[in-house]
Amino acid sequence: MGAKYCVAEMLLSVCRAREEIRISRKNPIARKLRQVRSRERRTRATSLNSGTTDQALDLHDFAGFL
């Protein structure tokens, strides 16, 4: 129960952060953090090089194991 709750909290925090960035797109930092490619087309190397690893996908995969 504890692990599932922790993963759910992490997923919620990632979603909230993404929503805040989406709302403030005119902000230069938010513009920099926006993904250029769709999630399906981004490779892990691309994400690491740009400094925008998509934690939501990792958390979603991890939650599938629980």
Residues 7, 66: contact at Cβ < 8 Å?
yes
Q: What are the average pLDDT values for consecutive 10-residue runs of the chain, which has 66 residues?
A: 70 71 60 59 57 62 68
How far apart, in Å, are the Cα atoms of 61 and each of 23, 31, 36, 49, 54?
A: 26, 27, 22, 21, 12
Would you state the pLDDT for residue 21? 54
Is the Cα dihedral 59, 61, 64, 66 positive or negative? negative
Would you state the pLDDT for residue 29? 67
- Whether this model's pTM surpasses 0.85: no
Rounded distance between C-alpha atoms, residue 35 and residue 52, angstroms: 8
Would you state the pLDDT for residue 53? 55
3-state secondary structure of 36: coil
